[in-house]
Structure 1
């Protein structure tokens, strides 16, 4: 039935794809200008709407840049925030003021990495670089379609289970633009992979991606590693294997699979849409699902929103834990990506 519905929406998808094609053509030909900056700009984004793993990949990238002696900053539009304009994160920032993902980045790096939000990335970059002169590079989070800025390195993410080459443009599918948009990428990362993905399977996926990307653009593969539960509310560690899962993310499937493999039993999954703004009533409903000895597991991104000022007291009384995740590349993917980063910061000879 879903397939039939998607076919009915194809004419609208073709119309939307046509509009996006014209927009991209205007930028490609220079009829619409893309701003360039002396400071290296790195874009991380996707073709598909919804969670492809941008947040942990941005965190990995920023960590690598810091280890290489750079002073990176992160700029996002701050999806889901209830504010407008340019805002630089500080200790008073909340998910409401800057968005859940920027707040997560700010907390992850303990304020040592400037994190800013602005719906106009060009204005945001100009303001950020003027206010933070020590910054040596800026990572643009979720800005693959933001053509008003020309990045020095464009990183495209696509999920193994939902690759862009098997999807269609909105509303028939989930693509923000046609598959041909992959041609702008300098590197493609296939995310949330099975750690046991074979070389033959990787080669098959790479061949399908390279039908749309530029010749010889690297295709890398990454997976998630999960850490021990971190307390958000009451309790130092989970009491038993039975849990209630609370998520407000686009793709909770990988987390569910990990928890099952780790021996946890999900007795109830309270699932909301991506970036859901949790309410007191939501937490009350979750508390009613808890049985003696059970706890609530969630994601770090969700935990950021659960700790909004109006919810902290209620969360503090519940046994809530988040599961941290980190990106790990298969084969030599990390080394290949580091090789792509290093030329951005090598000194150039003065002529």
Structure 2
């Protein structure tokens, strides 16, 4: 597969030229950029999928939601609808997509909207929810039509952008120099005990500007798995029969955290819409045991599988170190921006 992708190098060069021209046209004003008095925090990446955007968005929501009226705006990838939608009590997962529905499901008093056109989405949020003080733009790093003063760029420990290549040879959506637009670079999915020396080595390779700051995070799994009717301690769960189901970009960490020697692991494509055949496969594989999945998959499976069998394991972003510094940078930016607006 790697050798085949290397054959596509001329297409990667062409893709790089096109994206560089596009970004330059935004920079010099050929393409219009829209500014808003309401502060917007962009969470995104240079690569396609699997960098931990959802837990980072949730981290920022938890940090700010007690002090500010928040809204999230996503594309709503693979949703069965078009245009702008502001979630309400009757909104379904199919209408807005799994990740936005997860925000809507988990957080009260946070407005959740979807729109592929981010400028239009922000305009509608501010029209329908004028009390909004901060908008978190999920997966919007390449959406330069919105002029944001605060960009958080995520890159994974095992495949940082400095070791990657442009599509279709690698997984980068744009060239590495796009990282310069970020105020914060977060290296995600690190080992929990990442040494300070290795952090310094990575920072050197990131080639940050003097105005950028790097942070390191890891995935923290909940000690409890949840179902529609209850919860179970993960250690107790490990004593039972269960299978693992995941339709996320990089499920290996999830599988490795829970699986036993003979555990059946069923991977599906990212944002997968489960068919009746998929459901039959899952039920046959589980037999009489439990079905454990990710939180993102749970919102797609909850109405398709027996509720007493289906459990999900939440995750959250945790910092290797410097958590207070990260929090303060966000709080200072939002505090100053909301005061100015």
State the TM-score, normalized to the length of structure 1.
0.90
Residue 290 of structure 2: which of 292, 295, 313 is its match?
A: 295
One of 214, 218, 221 as aligned partner of 1:219: 214
Distance of 1:239 and 1:267 partners within structure 2: 10
Question: Could you tell me which residue of structure 1 aligns to residue 159 of structure 2?
Answer: 162
State the alpha-carbon separation in 2 of the partners of residues 138 and 347 from structure 1.
Answer: 12
Gaps of 5+ in 1: none
The alpha-carbon distance between structure 1 residues 9 and 347, as it changes in their structure 2 partners (threshold 3 A), is closer
Number of equivalent positions: 335
- Cα distance change of structure 1 residues 80 and 49 upon mapping to structure 2, 3 Å threshold: same
Superposed displacement of residue 97, structure 1: 0.3
1: CA distance between counterparts of 2:338 and 2:270?
A: 43
Match of 1:73 among 71, 85, 96: 71
Counterpart of 1:44 in structure 2 is: 43
Q: Which residue of 2 aligns with 1:275?
A: 271
Corresponding position: 1:332 with 2:329: no
Q: Measure the CA separation in 1 of the matches of 2:187 and 2:271.
A: 23
From 81, 89, 92, give the equivalent of 1:91: 89
Residue 291 of structure 1 and its aligned partner are, at CA, apart by: 4.4
Distance 1:117 1:327 in 2: 23
Equivalent residue of 2:24, what SS?
Answer: helix
CA contact 2:65–2:110 (8 Å) conserved in 1: no
- Over aligned residue pairs, what C-alpha RMSD do you find? 1.9
1:280 Cα offset (Å): 2.4
Of 51-60 and 250-259, the range deviating more from structure 2: 250-259
Query: C-alpha offsets along residues 29-85 of structure 1, whole Å, 9 cap, x if unaligned?
Result: 122121000000110000000111101100100111124x11111011111101111
Alpha-carbon displacement from aligned partner over 1:107-143 (angstroms, at most 9, x marks no partner): 1103x10000111100110010111111101000000
Q: Which residue of 1 aligns with 2:141?
A: 144
Judged with a 3 Å threshold, the aligned counterparts in structure 2 of structure 1 residues 266 and 202 are, in CA distance, closer, same or farther, namely farther
The residue aligned with 1:247 is 246
- Assess, with a 3 A threshold, how the Cα gap between structure 1 residues 266 and 37 changes in structure 2: closer, same or farther: farther
**TM-score scaled by structure 2?**
0.93
Distance 1:256 1:349 in 2: 45
CA distance in 1, matches of 2:177, 2:22: 13
- Aligned equivalents of 2:206 and 2:29: distance in 1? 27
Q: Write the distance in 2 (CA, Å) between the matches of 1:167 and 1:349.
A: 40
Aligned to 1:174: 171
User: Counterpart of 1:45 in 2: which secondary structure?
Assistant: strand
How far did residue 150 of structure 1 move? 0.6
Partner Cα separation in structure 2 for residue 29 and residue 85 of structure 1: 29
